[in-house]
A and B are shown apart, each in its own frame.
Chain A
Amino acid sequence: MKAFFQLLTANMKEIFRDRMQLWWFILFPVLFVTGFGVVYSGVVNPAAGDETMKFEVSIVNEEEGAFAAAITGAFMEVPEFAVQTRRKKEALQEFAEGKTGLVLILPAELEALPVAAGDLIKENRKIEIPVYCRPDKMFLMYGVNKILSGAEKEVLGQPSVMEIKLNTAVTHEDGLDINGGNDTGFNTIDYILPGVLAMTIMQLGLFGSIRVLALRVTRILKLLGATPLPRGMYLAGEILIRVGLSFIQALIVIVIGHYWFGLTLANNWLYIAGWVLLGTAAFVSMGYMFTTFAKTVESGNAIMQLAQLLMMFLSGIFMPLDFIPGYLRAVMRFMPLSYLADGMRYAIAGNPSLYGITTDLAVLLGLTILCLIITVKRFRWE
């Protein structure tokens, strides 16, 4: 057992001291996720039928007063804002469903402001302005801040007594029956990011297994075979490291996705980890299976590239389902990555499954077993 851990440590050092490995398995997914997050969070929401680059802003006036009307007017003057006034419950429901990215609530006590301002300052008290803003629309907060402080200065001519209370999501405290927004299917990020995660798991599985080819060519495997170390132990260590790296990747992708781009988290970490594990198992064994058909690192690379390109572009991971033409949906059914991406979207964001979760599980498990059988039959230590 001691030897096993030493080997594991040695292997880890090999990987973490190799900049190429770090780049492909850690930084690349980060860049990918950030890139996709930025691109897709800027996309005009197709569900809202919006053609122009306008951002939906809902304003809730709790009391129809002059001050609130002035602020609403200021918002309407901004050409990029499509302002509508709503009742609070309505506005929050729409926000929860993703129909608006920003809700501004102007409380009733605002109307007393010109008179009460002096008292508030004396008592060092502030009026809370609740704002609901989706994480991917945070840039709108700049405008909100500017308009609010501008209005305040104009009307009061003195320092701020208003304080923005920012929310990124509607909670149950808001008195709504919300299901986390899962069943609406509107959120592009929720579709894309789990797919990207599935893709990075596939890449780790396929390209990670090339290492075994390199070790065979450099005869390290043979040298290990001459030591008392059981041969399988080396492979077990390799696989364990792939699983570890997969978890790290998943954690990075999900954390960035969730906190920067508003990726919905519909399930607990353990459930998500289970899917990550299954996906890793499927693609690591697929990678090892491919290595048994290659004699050199170069030919191994070529096989992996081909497999990865096919799956990357024919599994529909980069496009929200609405954009995918019918023929591609048919091709998707033959790509193992489609099923992992589908499962991931369900597991992470709670998106409805395209093929059914049982099918996803069955395909991935079946793939793992099939690849393992072929690998065990064909694997050569040298």
Chain B
Amino acid sequence: MTVIEVKNLTKKYGNLKAVDGLSLSVAKGEIFGMLGPNGAGKSTTFEIITGILRRDAGDVKVLGVDPEKQPAAVKTRIGVQLQAAQTFSKLTVEETLKLFAGFYPNPLPVEETMARLDLLEKKNSRVETLSGGQRQRLAVAIAIISNGEIIFLDEPTVGLDPQARRNLWGAILELKDAGKTVFLTTHFMEEAQNLCDRVAIIDYGRVVALGTPQELISAHFQEMSLELVQPELRNEPKLRELTSVTEVVQLNDHTVLRTPNLTATIQELSALVNTLGIKLDDFRIRQANLEDVFLKLTGRRISQ
């Protein structure tokens, strides 16, 4: 069952097309991610779908309802966390959640929501005293307490350390287990790859690829990636002459060689460094990931 349906969505700010003919659909119960760099149009799309912004063209249906025409009908059935939105600084965590719970017809219990996001020990702390990570968790808690059928999270793990990020992923997976649909945006490749059932890669307001993370990767890469970090090998033209290498990508801090035959490439590489008179003392081998897919599709990296 489709719970979000977006067709040819367009939104302009002056001459700038923030969203340019974007289409996607989200099925009930899945964790759907919009992956893309900052400024790709993720947040604009997000805010149009959640009924905050008006669109210039296209169709949007959330739970079968147009959020622009019947905002109240949509907003009572979804929970939203907005990027960089603060809450009332003088209220405590518990007061804040009670306040937002009061806006929804059938909210989750405040206590349970705090427990899910590790906020119990902070329940009586004022928001102004919380750390960045705690505030971020509170923002997600506000979305979750709605008990909405779809939970919308805009960059939910920005500013969190890796451990806190993993904890939050746990809370998001719990939502999926509880039968909720989760729609999130992120510019963390890892988040999209580990958390999302399906991912839409967004660039310049368009969907450039859509599918499960594994589908996206195998559709674009059969090769392995070999990453060279030695400065001596930077921009080395002879790397392009290696016969087993299909592609050489020079990035700021390392060089990526793509190869379907890892053994052959390593042999060729050893020979090459010998003739160059340097030692090969550091390289990494990995499978392609969504970052590579993005790089291949757009020529740019998602995060810097």
Contacts and interface: CB of A to CB of B under 8 A. Distances in A.
Nearest to A230: B72
A228 interface: yes
B82 A228 contact: no
A277 interface: no
A2 B76 CA distance: 15
Contacts of A226: 50-52, 75, 80, 82
Given A219-B82, A223-B142, A226-B50, A14 B103 contact: no
B188 interface: no
A228 to B, nearest CB: 4
B84 interface: yes
- Interface residue SS majority, chain B: loop
Contacts, number: 64
Nearest to A2: B102
B86 A227 contact: no
Nearest to A4: B102
B52 A225 contact: yes
Residue of A6, A226, A227, A228 most packed against chain B (CB within 10 A): A226
A219 B142 CA distance: 14
B50, B51, B52, B99: residue with the most chain A Cβ atoms closer than 10 Å = B99
A10 B76 contact: no
Interface in A208-253: 218-220, 222-223, 225-230
Contacts of B104: 227-228
B221 interface: no
B283 interface: no
A219 B86 contact: yes
A205 B90 CA distance: 22
**Interface footprint category on A:** 20 to 34
B85 A227 contact: no
Nearest to B73: A228
A13 interface: yes
Contacts of A223: 80, 82, 85, 87, 142
B86 A218 contact: yes
Given A226-B50, A227-B100, A18 B85 contact: no
A222 B52 contact: yes
Contacts of A230: 72
B72 A220 contact: no
Interface string A8-26: 0011011001100000000
Interface string A311-348: 00000000000000000000000000000000000000
Interface in B74-97: 75-76, 80, 82, 84-91, 95-96
A14 B86 contact: no
Given A227-B75, A228-B72, A220 B103 contact: no
B90 A222 contact: no
Given A223-B82, A226-B82, A14 B88 contact: yes
Contact of A6 (B72, B85, B90, B99): B99
A235 to B, nearest CB: 15
B90 A17 contact: yes
Contact of A14 (B52, B75, B90): B90
Contact of A227 (B84, B95, B98, B103): B103
A7 interface: yes
Interface string A280-297: 000000000000000000
A112 interface: no
A241 to B, nearest CB: 13
Contacts of A220: 85-88
A39 interface: no
Nearest to B78: A226
A7 B51 contact: no
A3 interface: yes
A49 B149 CA distance: 80
A208 to B, nearest CB: 16
B48 to A, nearest CB: 12
10 contacts: A6-B102, A10-B88, A13-B91, A14-B89, A17-B90, A220-B87, A223-B82, A226-B52, A226-B75, A226-B80
Interface of A: 2-3, 6-7, 10-11, 13-14, 17-18, 218-220, 222-223, 225-230
Q: Ordered nearest first, which 4 A-B pairs have the shortest CB separation?
A: A219-B85, A226-B80, A17-B90, A218-B86
Given A7-B99, A220-B88, A222-B82, 9 more contacts: A7-B102, A219-B84, A223-B80, A226-B80, A228-B72, A228-B75, A228-B105, A229-B103, A230-B72
